Amino acid sequence: MKLDFTSQKGFSLIEILIALLISTVIALAILRAYVTTIHTVGNSANGAKSDGNVIFGFATAERILQGAGFGVAPPSTGSSYGQTLQAYKDGAAVELNAVADSLVWRSGAGLCQALIISNRDNPLNVNSATHTGSGLYYYGGTSAYSCSNLSLPSSTSTEVPQVLVPFNDINTSLVSLRVNGTASCTPYGISNTVNNGSGAYSVLLTANVYAGSGQTQNTVTNRTCLFNFK
The C-alpha atoms of residue 102 and residue 136 are separated, in whole angstroms, by 9
Give the C-alpha separation, 91 to 211, whole Å. 31
pLDDT at 27: 82
Q: Which residue, 140, 172, 180, is CA-closest to 56?
A: 172
226 pLDDT exceeds 50? yes
Examine residue 206 and state whether it is found in any structural domain, yes or no.
yes
pLDDT above 70 covers a percentage of the chain that reads 75
Residue 92 has pLDDT above 90, yes or no: yes
**Considering the domain boundaries, does residue 189 fall inside one?**
yes
pLDDT (0 to 100) of residue 191? 53
Those residues with Cβ within 8 angstroms of residue 177's Cβ, 6 or more apart along the chain or in another chain: 87, 99, 100, 101, 102, 103, 115, 117, 203, 204, 205, 206
Number of domains in the chain: 1
SS3 label, residue 122:
coil
Can you tell me the distance from the alpha carbon of 31 to that of 20, in angstroms, rounded to the nearest whole number?
A: 16
pLDDT digits (tens, 9 = 90+) for 95-127: 999 999 999 999 888 899 999 999 888 888 878
pLDDT number for residue 65: 92
Q: Is residue 64 one of the residues assigned to a domain?
A: yes
Cα 137 to chain centroid, rounded: 10
Lowest mean pLDDT among 42-51, 82-91, 170-179: 42-51
Residue 40: band (very low, low, confident or very high) from pLDDT cuts 50, 70, 90: low
18 located within any domain: no
Taking 50 as the threshold, does the pLDDT of residue 87 lie above it?
A: yes
Indicate whether 137 belongs to any domain.
Answer: yes
Q: Residue 91: phi, psi to the nearest 5?
A: 85, -5
Collapse the DSSP code of 178 into the 3-class scheme (helix H, G, I; strand E, B; otherwise coil) and give the result.
Answer: strand
Does the residue 3 lie in any domain? no
Cα pseudo-dihedral 226, 202, 59, 116, rounded to 10: -100
In this prediction, residue 38 has a pLDDT band, given cuts at 50, 70 and 90, of: low
pLDDT tens, 200-217?
789 999 988 876 545 566
Question: pTM for this one?
Answer: 0.74
In a domain, 115, yes or no: yes
11 falls in which pLDDT band (50, 70, 90)?
low
Range of the domain at 171: 42-226
